Amino acid sequence: MERGKGYMRWFVGLFLSLFFTHGVWAVTGPEVAQLLNARYRLSVSECVGATAIHYCSGVLARRSQNAPTVGFWKLSAEAVSSGVERFDYWRVDRAPVLANRPNGFVFTDVFTAIGLGKQLDVLPAASNSEASVKNWDDGAPARAPLQALFYDLGTAGALRGAQRDQLAYFRATGEWLPILRMQRDDAQQSLFGFNQADQLYVGYQVAARLNARYADTSPTCRDGRAAFYCNGVLIRTTDQSTAFHSWNPSPGSVRGNGASFSYLRADAGVIRLYKVQGFVIREQAAPVGNPMSLRCAYPFDGGTSGSADACRVRGGMCGELGVTSVQAWTARYAARPNSSCAFNLDPQQFQLSIDVRLNRSDYYGWNEFMVAAWPQDNPSQLPIEAFIYTTQALGGGNGLAGAQYDQKDYFQVSGRYIPIMRVTLNAAPGQVFVFDPQEQGVQ
C-alpha cells in the first residue's frame, strides 16, 4: 500500500504539472503515454477523497470494432440496449492485457474528465479486468472523454486501423488524438509508447520541410558542399502499375546506373513534371540506411533512356568538355538545350545546372538529375520522404489514386507510413507542397 501511495503522489504531481503547464487538452503524445503508464502502474484501493479507483488509476480501453465507415466512438448495439459500454480495465495488478486487441481507444480517468468538463461515469464490473461506462453522446465525439488511440505493435495492420481512426476523429472534430504503441515490457510495468512516425499528422511537418528546402536558393550549404546536400527537392515520377513497386529502380535505371529525378527549387524553373505521381527523397546530407546518391545533373530533359551510362550520354561531363560557365554552355547548347552535357556535383558545376535554365524556354518544363541505382526490395531503408501527385505533368492519369496506391503498397511491405503531398509548381510561397489529411489513402 505504501508503494501505491508513492505512485499516487507521483501521478498527482505529474498530472498537476502537465495540467498547469499545458492545459490537459494540450498534453503531447509522449506525455500522454507517460500519464497512461503511470495510471497503469498505480495499484491503489481508492483515489483521493475516498473516490473509486477509476478516478485516478488504471486504463479504460476498448477495441475498435466498428466498420471503417462508422466512427470508432459510436456506441455498440449492446450499449444502446443496455445503457453501458463494456471496456477493458488495464492495471498492473489485474489480469494481463489481452493480446487480441489490435487497435482501439483509451478514455481518460474520471478526474481528468472532470477537469475537461466531460462526463465519465464508470460502474464496477463482474471481472476485475473490465469496467462498464455509461453511454456518452456519440453524436458529439469531441465531448467524449477520449485521451488516445492505440495499436498493438506486434499485430499486422493494426497501425493502419489506428490511423484510420485518427483521421476519422480529425474529420469529425478538427482535432488530433495521439496514436500510442502498445508494447508490453517483460516486467509488465510499461504498456504504451509514442512514436512520431506513427502519427498521420506528421504530413504537415513533412510539407513544411519540403517547402523550406524548395524556397532555399543558397548556392552552397553552410559547410561549403553543393546545394543538393541541404536544399531543393529531388522528386521521381513513376508509372501507375500494380506489377512493380514504385520505389524500386527500373531495369533501365539499373543498366545505365541512373534513375531520373527532377530537382525542384524556387530558382530552378521547373514548371512541369513528367508523370502525375511519384515520390520525394530526403536531402542528400540526411542520414539513412540505404542512401540514394545523386550522380549528375542535366539542366533540361537529358534523353537518357537506354544509355549505358546515364551521365555520359553525349561523350563526357560538362567540366571535361570545357563547359564551366553560362556563356560556355549557351555557345554550345542554346539552340538545342535537350542535347546538353551533364554537370558534375561540385558546387560551381551544380549551380551552373540551375543558372543555365534562367530565362530560357523549355518545351518539357523539367530538368533531369540522375540518381545512382539502389538495391531492389529494401524500402524501409530508403530515404523516401513523401509520395506525391500533381496535375502539372506531361503524362495523364489520376495522380492522387496512384499516390494512394503507392502509399498503401509501401505500408504493406515496410510497415512505415509515408504521407502524400499535392505538388503545385506555380503555387504561392509555402504552398508548393501541401498535405491534406483527407487525401491520405489510409482507409
Shared domain check, 185 and 314: no
> Cα separations (Å) of 399 from 154, 239, 247, 250?
33, 10, 16, 19
Shared domain check, 418 and 339: yes
- Of 139, 170, 198, the residue that ends a domain is 198
Shared domain check, 420 and 272: yes
pTM, full prediction: 0.80
Shared domain check, 208 and 98: no
- Of 182, 198, 214, the residue that ends a domain is 198
- The count of domains in the chain is 2
- Which pLDDT score, from 0 to 100, does residue 289 have? 87
Per-residue pLDDT of the chain (443 residues; tens, 9 = 90+): 444 555 455 444 444 444 434 444 467 999 999 999 999 999 999 999 999 999 999 999 999 988 888 999 999 999 999 999 999 999 999 888 777 889 999 999 999 999 999 999 999 777 889 999 999 999 999 999 999 999 998 888 888 899 999 999 999 999 999 999 997 665 567 899 999 989 989 999 999 999 999 999 999 999 999 999 999 999 999 998 888 999 999 999 999 999 999 999 999 999 999 999 999 999 999 998 889 999 999 999 999 988 899 999 987 899 999 999 999 999 999 999 999 999 999 999 999 999 999 878 889 999 999 999 999 999 999 999 999 999 999 999 999 999 999 999 998 898 888 999 999 999 999 999 999 988 987 54
The whole-angstrom separation of Cα 152 and Cα 99 is 8
Shared domain check, 181 and 283: no
- Of 198, 224, 243, the residue that ends a domain is 198
Shared domain check, 221 and 108: no
Shared domain check, 208 and 71: no
Q: What range defines the domain where residue 412 resides?
A: 203-439
Shared domain check, 252 and 149: no
Shared domain check, 193 and 298: no
- Which pLDDT score, from 0 to 100, does residue 1 have? 43
Shared domain check, 216 and 184: no
The whole-angstrom separation of Cα 180 and Cα 104 is 10
Shared domain check, 24 and 114: yes
Shared domain check, 207 and 194: no
